[in-house]
Every structure is written in C-alpha cells, then in structure tokens.
Structure 1
Amino acid sequence: MGRALVWKLNARLHNRMYRYISGHASDDVLFMNWAYEEDPAMAIPLDPTDEPHRYPIQLYHSVAAQNGGLAGMRVLEVGCGHGGGASYIMRTFGAESYVGLDLNAVGITFCRRRHHVPGLEFIEGDAEQLPFRAESFDAVINVESSHFYPHFTQFLSEVTRVLRPGGEFLYTDIRQWYQCDQWEADLEATGMRMVAGRDINKQVLRGMELNKPQWDAVWDRIAPGFLRSIGSAPTTGTPLSRDLENGKQFYRMYCLTKG
C-alpha cells in the first residue's frame, strides 16, 4: 500500500475519531491537540480552571505569542476543535475579536455551549472555503489540523486571502518525514514572509509525557476499544510518540506575514 493511500486512510479514521469524541465528550474535554513544554519549564501563570490543561494550552500560547502577541487584533482560528485554545487566547492575549471555525458541526455545538467569552464566536465552516471577505483578519491561527485537509494549498490560499496586508499566519502542525520538503515548498509558494519556523519535536514529546495522566484519563473514558488498542492517543509510549522520537514525523511551528 502506497504512502499517500495510507495517509488518506489515516485521515479518514481520525476525522471519524474526532466526530466520535465530540459526540461523547464531557464538558471538561476542551483540548484535542498534543502538548508542549520547554526546558526550563514555561511556567506561564494560569487560572485554576485552566491548570488541568496546562500542556495543551502551552502549545497554543507558544503559537499565539510568536510575533509579539495579538492585542487589539481580529483573529480567526481555523480548526478550533473544542474551543479550549480559542477561549484561552481570547482571555489572555487581548484580541479585539476571535472567530473559531471548524468543519465538525458537533464540535461547534460543543463550543457554543461550553465557552462564553465576550468577543468570541464559533462558526461551522470549511478550511478550504473560508466564509469571510478578503482582508477580514489581522491574524489566522491553525493548530494541528491542516495535515488532514484534502487540499492543503487551497487552505493556504484562503488564509492569504482573508488576511489583511501585514497580517500574521500563526501555525503549528505535524508531517511525515517524506512530506516535509513539499510542506516547506507549499508555505513558500504563498508569497508570505517567513518570520519564524522551527522543529518542536522535543518540546512536544516533553509535553506529552507530562500531560499523559490527564490525556489517559480522558482517552480511557471516551475512546472506543479499537482506538485504545491501536494506540492512537497523543501520549508517550504510542506509535505517535515513537515516530517523533525516531524522526519519522516532524512537528513544526511557524509565523508568516502577508506582504
């Protein structure tokens, strides 16, 4: 079986998994992204209600803070999941407004029920056909979801379209080792200026290890048996973490600005 076909089958499985989790999650399942921790520890101050989600939050925090913060900005997050990152960023970074968009209708229903923050709204929509006018946003955030978009370059074209001149694309995601050259080429082809880009495998692995008790408790509660058996949770001791350790996958973080 070819690599491309395996990747497509994996994408289909994970999209169904996310819909399943959204339909069965309790209100404490606010994050579905992997985790992040630096050395020495980031030690960002968190509210007591945010503390259980420290390591997924630190991934969002690091992405959002790449180019000086989001104060006064109109922000769009594409692929907002269960909205935990959107809520944290809106409460922490002083954005003027924040729109969380996701294709998963069940997830958007969850977000609207769970998160009530002034200036924050959630919309069902397609990453490859963003339902917004050109130059509508000062920043677009995308955390760990673009690797399953059917047409990644179309998504990048939409990001470029909805950003105002000087706007920021704040982005983190994962790719298989053999996809990385094309990944970089696709980002360069947008015409946006690369402000920062780095591998964060070590930081993600460290975060996954520290977040393991929290994630395992969630996973055991809501994941069906076949998902537990194949070890598809983003935690240590699984194929996902071993691929990061062995360099078969790369997790990277980027900041690009539109000219």
Structure 2
Amino acid sequence: MLSRLLTRDDVLFLNYGYEEDPPMALPLAASDEPDRFPIQLYHRTATQTDLAGKQVLEVSCGHGGGASYLMRTLYPASYTGLDLNTVGIEFCRKRHKLPGLNFVQGNAESLPFPDRSFDAVINVEAAINYQNVPRFFAEVERVLRPGGDFLYADIRYADQIAAWEADLAGIPLRLISGKAINADVMRGLEKNRFFDQIIRRLPNIAFLRGIAHDYAGGPGSLIYRRLEYGEASYRLFRFAKD
C-alpha cells in the first residue's frame, strides 16, 4: 500500500533516517541532499565493510534510493536490489538506471539466486516485517560466499526483542559487531521529512493521518516515543560467513 501511495520520483527512501552527534557531515551530491538522513542510515550500514569491486545483494530494496546511492558512491562491481513488491520493483527499474545496478522481484525467505552468489548482503529496516526471520537468515548464509558480509539494520518493539535475540543467536554466521543506535535514529527522525511526504499524498481524513504520523515516526509519534523510552530497540549489525 505504501509503495502504491508513494511511487513518485521524489520518494526514494522508506526508512526512518539516521544522524550522529556530532553530525556525520557526509558529503552528498545536490540531488541526494533532500534524502540526507535516510542516506546516512544506508551509508553507516553499508560501510561496515568495503564494498568496492564486490557483488552485492540488497534484500527489500524498497524504492531503490539506497541501492542507487551505494552503487554511485561505494563502487561495487554489481548491486542487485530485491523486493517482494512488484510495483516497487517496476518503479526502481524505471527510476534507477545505472551500469551494474539491477532489480529483481522475489521473496526474502526464498531468495531466487544460486548458492554463494554474493560477497555482501544488505538489509535495512525490513526484516521486522518478514514471516520467518530465521528462514531469511538461512537464505542470507546460503547466497553469501565464504568471507562475505551480512550488513543489517533493524528495529524491534519491547515484546519482540527476546524472540529477535534468539533468532540472532541462531544465525549461521559469525557476529563481527552489533550495537544499539536508538539515539542516532531518533535524531534522523527529528530531521527526516518522510512524514510530510506521506501526508501530502493522503486524503484529509484524521485517522489515516494519525496512522501515517505513527508510521513515519516524527517527534511525538508512537515509534519515536518507544525509541526514546526504551520500548523499542534499533540495532546495527555486521555478520561474516567463514
């Protein structure tokens, strides 16, 4: 539904955003500047390893903004964006045309690629929506080459954290690093204009706008308050396949 609502050339990112203290001051092209804070989440996630010359898969690529940015700035040999949503994939194919960048419709829990196809797999703020997260993790391990990296950023609410941690403990990869980034995501939410983009496209119906406000995560929203009071945990990970 969200992709159908927001499939416009100016809506390229669907994540909450990210900002550090002091600010990252990431150099960006003028065309990327409006999406600074969602881009910074992608940048921080992807630069946990060197992607130059690598074959990269992003699972749940959304509207492809992160795929385009990383292809243009981190110089992988190839970058494949996969998403379940056919509308979103059609949008990506029309909007993001770069050598080495391609988009595929498919399921995160049954990746349509041979074993050992990629040097890195990226997943940003998406696996919370999957039906079977351990199955997704197993698929990541399957398609990674030995020495490859799984670069992962995601959120869980308080009542989901124990199950998430159990899933993470069972992932068939070696943990290199992991940390909570609640404060960084909250700063991103404060500066990100995602909520305004949603509101401009909604009918003037109070309950719809209320739902959108909580989804988009602006200050005062449910997700912002949960992050602020420790009722949600947003974390960043790097795993490796030996």
Q: How does the TM-score come out when normalised to structure 2?
A: 0.95
Q: Which residue of 1 aligns with 2:22?
A: 40
Which structure has greater helix proportion? 1
Q: Which residue of 2 aligns with 1:21?
A: 5
Alignment of 1:138-149 (within 5 A): 138-149=119-130
> What's the offset of the Cα at 1:179?
2.0
> What's the offset of the Cα at 1:141?
0.2
> What RMSD in Å do the two structures reach over aligned CA positions?
1.2
Q: Which residue of 2 aligns with 1:59?
A: 41
2:216 aligned counterpart, secondary structure: coil
CA distance in 1, matches of 2:119, 2:97: 22
Report whether the alignment pairs 1:233 with 2:216.
yes
The one-letter amino acid paired with 1:61 is: H
1:217 aligned counterpart, secondary structure: helix
Q: Deviations over 1:100-148 (max 9, x none)?
A: 0000000001101100111000010000010000000000000001001
CA distance in 2, matches of 1:139, 1:63: 12
CA distance in 1, matches of 2:150, 2:208: 33
CA contact (8 A) 2:53 2:75 kept: yes
Alignment of 1:60-209 (within 5 A): 60-67=42-49, 69-209=50-190
Q: How does the TM-score come out when normalised to structure 1?
A: 0.89
CA distance in 2, matches of 1:198, 1:223: 36
> What's the offset of the Cα at 1:220?
1.5
CA distance in 2, matches of 1:18, 1:161: 30
The one-letter amino acid paired with 2:202 is: A
CA distance in 2, matches of 1:184, 1:64: 22
Moved more, 132-141 or 226-235: 226-235
CA distance in 1, matches of 2:77, 2:141: 20
> What's the offset of the Cα at 1:94?
1.0
Give structure 1 stretches of 5+ with no counterpart: 1-16
The one-letter amino acid paired with 1:221 is: R
Q: Which residue of 2 aligns with 1:250?
A: 233
Count the aligned residue pairs: 238
CA distance in 2, matches of 1:254, 1:108: 26
> What's the offset of the Cα at 1:215?
1.9
> What's the offset of the Cα at 1:59?
0.1
Report whether the alignment pairs 1:223 with 2:202.
yes
